[in-house]
A and B are shown apart, each in its own frame.
Chain A
Amino acid sequence: MASAPSKLYSDDVSLVVVLLDTNPFFWSSSSLSFSQFLTHVLAFLNAILTLNQLNQVVVIATGYNSCDYVYDSSSTGNQSVGNGRMPSLCATLLQNLEEFMNKDEQLGKQEPEGRIACSLLSGSLSMALCYIQRVFRSGLLHPQPRILCLQGSPDGPEQYVAIMNAIFSAQRSMVPIDSCYLGAQNSAFLQQASYITGGVHHKPQQLDGLFQYLLTIFGTDLHSRNFLQLPKPVGVDFRASCFCHKNTIDMGYICSVCLSIYCKHLKKCSTCGSVFGQAQTQSDEPSATNRKRKTTDA
């Protein structure tokens, strides 16, 4: 029995952890409706599972107030629900998603007050990394994991530190983070995530062909990526956000003790409490430059 799986274990066995953005405030104002989106995604997940018998898929819903596992293809407790119109994958996932949305609604108390509603990407990233760590420790034979981030909500600046931490830990465990941004603007977080971890970032031009994008770009396993050409972004927005206002800044001040980034000169670091000396000049010149914008083309 042990030999059979090892024979089937080829190089392209993959575990895809999909982070699904379920921020209702985004979806309610997006050109792509949530149901269409779900259709594309479900078909894509099916396709991944058909690519290889040993492929695994895990879906984590990134909600507005919480995150939770919504589907795990390797778990045996998948009950087929109701009608036979769709495969059990879809049925289970939808069922769980509905429950998740109900819970998420319960958790949130206040109105968004017109602010940019962002989902808890840092939370779902962390959950994904934890799951992947468990897979690593399961033994020598395990599928090659990667994270696919389907995000539409804008970046939440208050999550900057947490997301960067998650990105660096993914880099260390060599887990690529692919990201597909469905929103209007650019997401600096996702660009950085994909760049740092060696994943693929793409912002689809046509949202109704999302399935095609998914299958062409994000369906490729890691082994095949060595000889397949995938689209690369023209540039990566590496700008950091300042810790005080969460604005993305080009140049700023950095605390020499804890490396916190500030947009203006402070007497005392708010993170670690270390006291800074006097600035050399009173002009606008920052004492430490934080120039990070880079372009990659010739």
Chain B
Amino acid sequence: MFMPDNRNSGAKLVVEFKSIQGHKYTKEGSNKPPLINLANAQGGSYIFEFDSYSDLHVCRDFVSKVLEKSKETPNAALEKSAVKLPDEQLSEEEMQLRIKLLQENSELQKLHRQFVGGNILTEAEFWAARKKLLDRDPSKKSKQRVGFKSAMISDIRPATDGRIFAEKPAVHRAFLNFVPNKMTEMEFWTKYCRAEYLSRTKNYHAVVAEAAEDEELAVFLKEDDILANEVRKKIRRVDPTLDMEADEGDDYTHLPDHGIFRDGTKESNELQSEHYRRTLLQDLNRHAAVVLEGRTIDVEREDSTRALAEALARSKRGNEGADNNANEERLDRTPRVAEIEDLQAPHCLPLAPLSIKDAREYFDSQQANTLKASRDSQASMKCSLSRQEAYGSVRDAISEIKDMGLSDPIVNPEVALKVYSGLTHNISSIKYHLGKNPRETVLDRLPSATKEKLLYVNRLKDALSNIYPQLEEMKESLPADLRHQVSLLVRPMQQALDAAIQHYDADLQKRSAKSGEKPNGYV
């Protein structure tokens, strides 16, 4: 619905936006009065005149938006009507925003239709829940800035988006310097094109000749020194903690072909002319870098190249400042990160002190306990003599031996015999119960169980070994023609038996070998 603010006429014109197909408006620059021409579906048109162009713009924007929406599906119309509920004072903008949101988000549209259309929720409630969406001003949406086209500058026409300046900073600088002081823009670009043409011909000597003549031309042909500086700066900015060896050799833009000539010869040219070598590789790399950075300058399209150049320069300077800060930051960070551990003072980590109780304390207390406890312990050897007496008796014994020498015989022979026979009896009696080795395995500890097991194993072994000849017999008993087939069946059985018996024998051997002598004193 469109209501013109016409103070003069009393009538209000109500035009359905649905019926409007298109709109035209007069340009601001022209001398015509500000008019909007709304073309009707039926072929007629409404012409509205405005007081000023600003009004025209506002109206124009509004109309264009509405017209966009009106080209949508009929659902949009439904939404429009649904949105305009009388019990809510909505601003036009908000209404537009809502409509736009609904159009963009189909899910939201569905929900809206479901709830509000089905009278479950009122309009206000629905949008209250989605306040977040409404708060965002669509016009402030971050536009994705369109970057450079990735095609290389093959045509030498200076494009309006300042790509040449981005890729070739020397040209940019030259532009800033020369225009409009020394030459006009046209002249500048002419010289630039000539330089490009010359370099493409690969007529090296012609390039040198012309460069010597025309100073400005030489600027275009020379090595882009700004670029070189930049690259060098970039190399220096590489984080040393990255542990990459970035050195002068990586400055590939400076030396063509990394300083290595393909045909192996070292061309000894004049210093001056070396500057004019510009390889395709350098151009490609530079181009790629710029495209990836992708920053365009947001400048109005109608401005001249000059303003563009200035804007670019400004932005670069701004970046430089930021870069310097980043660089400083990085320099600060480097010593922190690349600490040499050996040279650092030892970290005083918060340690919980180890609290080991004094062992002596434990033993002393235990001794006190024992004293207390043993005082009323069972009656065993209580020393009847005093200390001195005890020691004295021992000393006497020692001196006795010293005087007398060892007794002869040391042991009474009868006693010795008794001892000996007793020992042998003891040893022989326990021989059959316990193993030979003092270090017995657990298996031998339970002789009865072990014996059973062993017997069982033996029985099994016997049974298995019995099967073997049985199989053989079976084979023999069959007639010759069947024998082969039977032997095929029988053979795996025999092999299994062999393997089992071998394994058992090996195991037995291993076990007996293990219980053999251990090297004494082996640490």
> How many whole Å from B446's CB to the nearest CB in chain A?
8
Q: Is A130 an interface residue (CB 8 A)?
A: no
Residues of A contacting B401 in the complex (Cβ-Cβ under 8 angstroms):
35, 38-39, 42, 90, 94
Q: Is B513 an interface residue (CB 8 A)?
A: no
1/0 per residue A227-257: CB within 8 Å of B? 0011110100000000111110000000000
Q: A90-B406, A112-B387, A184-B381 are in contact. Are A212 and B415 (CB under 8 A)?
A: yes
Q: Is A206 an interface residue (CB 8 A)?
A: yes
A–B pairs, 5, beta carbons within 8 Å? A27-B393, A28-B394, A34-B394, A172-B523, A297-B430
| A216 to B355 Cα, complex, angstroms | 51
Residues of B contacting A39 in the complex (Cβ-Cβ under 8 angstroms):
401, 406-407, 410
Q: Is A219 an interface residue (CB 8 A)?
A: no
Contact of B521 among A26, A27, A145, A198 (CB under 8 A): A145
Contact of B438 among A28, A146, A184, A232 (CB under 8 A): A232
Residues of B contacting A244 in the complex (Cβ-Cβ under 8 angstroms):
369
Q: Looking across the interface, which residue of chain B has its beta carbon closest to that of A157?
A: B370
Residues of A contacting B397 in the complex (Cβ-Cβ under 8 angstroms):
27, 33-35, 38
Q: A115-B375, A211-B411 are in contact. Are A26 and B381 (CB under 8 A)?
A: yes
Q: A212-B420, A231-B427, A298-B433 are in contact. Are A35 and B391 (CB under 8 A)?
A: no
Residues of A contacting B51 in the complex (Cβ-Cβ under 8 angstroms):
none
Q: A174-B518, A184-B380 are in contact. Are A209 and B387 (CB under 8 A)?
A: no
Interface residue total, chain B, C-beta cutoff 8 A: 71
| A205 to B374 Cα, complex, angstroms | 28
Q: Is B266 an interface residue (CB 8 A)?
A: no
Task: Report B448-492 residues with CB < 8 Å from chain A CB.
Answer: 448
Residue from B374, B385, B386, B428 with most neighbouring chain A CB atoms (10 Å) = B374
> How many whole Å from B164's CB to the nearest CB in chain A?
79
Q: In the complex the two chains form, is B419's CB within 8 Å of A209's CB?
A: yes
Is chain A's binding surface mostly helix, strand, loop or mixed?
loop
> How many whole Å from A86's CB to the nearest CB in chain B?
5
B positions within 8 Å CB-CB of A: 355, 357, 362-363, 365-367, 369-371, 373-375, 377, 380-391, 393-395, 397-402, 405-407, 410-412, 415-416, 418-420, 422-423, 426-428, 430-431, 433-434, 436, 438-440, 445-448, 516-523
| A114 to B521 Cα, complex, angstroms | 41
Q: Looking across the interface, which residue of chain A has its beta carbon closest to that of B414?
A: A209
Q: In the complex the two chains form, is A40's CB within 8 Å of B423's CB?
A: no
Q: Looking across the interface, which residue of chain A has its beta carbon closest to that of B406?
A: A39
Q: In the complex the two chains form, is A40's CB within 8 Å of B366's CB?
A: no
Q: Looking across the interface, which residue of chain A has its beta carbon closest to that of B446?
A: A298
Q: Is A222 an interface residue (CB 8 A)?
A: yes
Our count of residue pairs bridging A and B at CB distance below 8 angstroms stands at 207
Q: A247-B373, A270-B362, A271-B357 are in contact. Are A185 and B380 (CB under 8 A)?
A: yes
| A145 to B521 Cα, complex, angstroms | 7
Task: Report A205-225 residues with CB < 8 Å from chain B CB.
Answer: 205-206, 208-213, 216-217, 222-223, 225
1/0 per residue A282-298: CB within 8 Å of B? 00000000000000111
| A204 to B420 Cα, complex, angstroms | 11
1/0 per residue A34-67: CB within 8 Å of B? 1110111011000000000000000000000000
> How many whole Å from B515's CB to the nearest CB in chain A?
10
> How many whole Å from B397's CB to the nearest CB in chain A?
4
Q: A38-B401, A273-B357 are in contact. Are A246 and B366 (CB under 8 A)?
A: yes
Contact of B380 among A154, A172, A206 (CB under 8 A): A154
> How many whole Å from B400's CB to the nearest CB in chain A?
5
| A241 to B487 Cα, complex, angstroms | 68
Q: A116-B374, A212-B415, A217-B423 are in contact. Are A24 and B394 (CB under 8 A)?
A: yes
> How many whole Å from A237's CB to the nearest CB in chain B?
16
Q: Looking across the interface, which residue of chain A has its beta carbon closest to that of B405?
A: A85
Residues of A contacting B410 in the complex (Cβ-Cβ under 8 angstroms):
39-40, 43, 211
Interface residue total, chain A, C-beta cutoff 8 A: 88
Contact of A116 among B366, B381, B433 (CB under 8 A): B381
Q: A144-B520, A144-B521 are in contact. Are A27 and B387 (CB under 8 A)?
A: no
| A230 to B434 Cα, complex, angstroms | 11
> How many whole Å from A291's CB to the nearest CB in chain B?
16
Q: In the complex the two chains form, is A231's CB within 8 Å of B415's CB?
A: no
Q: In the complex the two chains form, is B383's CB within 8 Å of A117's CB?
A: yes
Q: In the complex the two chains form, is A24's CB within 8 Å of B393's CB?
A: yes
Q: In the complex the two chains form, is A115's CB within 8 Å of B371's CB?
A: yes
Residues of A contacting B382 in the complex (Cβ-Cβ under 8 angstroms):
114, 116
Residues of B contacting A183 in the complex (Cβ-Cβ under 8 angstroms):
381
Q: A116-B381, A212-B420, A231-B426 are in contact. List 11 more A-B contacts (CB 8 A).
A: A24-B391, A36-B407, A94-B401, A142-B521, A173-B521, A174-B518, A176-B520, A206-B415, A211-B411, A231-B423, A298-B446
| A234 to B362 Cα, complex, angstroms | 35
Q: In the complex the two chains form, is A246's CB within 8 Å of B370's CB?
A: yes
Q: A27-B393, A35-B400 are in contact. Are A230 and B427 (CB under 8 A)?
A: yes
Residues of A contacting B519 in the complex (Cβ-Cβ under 8 angstroms):
174
Residues of B contacting A223 in the complex (Cβ-Cβ under 8 angstroms):
517, 520
Contact of A175 among B383, B416, B521 (CB under 8 A): B521
Q: In the complex the two chains form, is B383's CB within 8 Å of A25's CB?
A: yes
Q: Looking across the interface, which residue of chain A has its beta carbon closest to that of B517?
A: A226
Task: Report A123-173 residues with CB < 8 Å from chain B CB.
Answer: 132, 136, 142, 144-146, 154, 157-158, 172-173
Q: In the complex the two chains form, is B521's CB within 8 Å of A98's CB?
A: no
**Which 8 pairs across A and B sit closest by C-beta, in order of nearness?**
A24-B390, A209-B419, A34-B397, A35-B397, A25-B383, A212-B419, A144-B520, A209-B415
| A102 to B392 Cα, complex, angstroms | 10
> How many whole Å from A170's CB to the nearest CB in chain B?
11
Q: In the complex the two chains form, is A226's CB within 8 Å of B516's CB?
A: yes
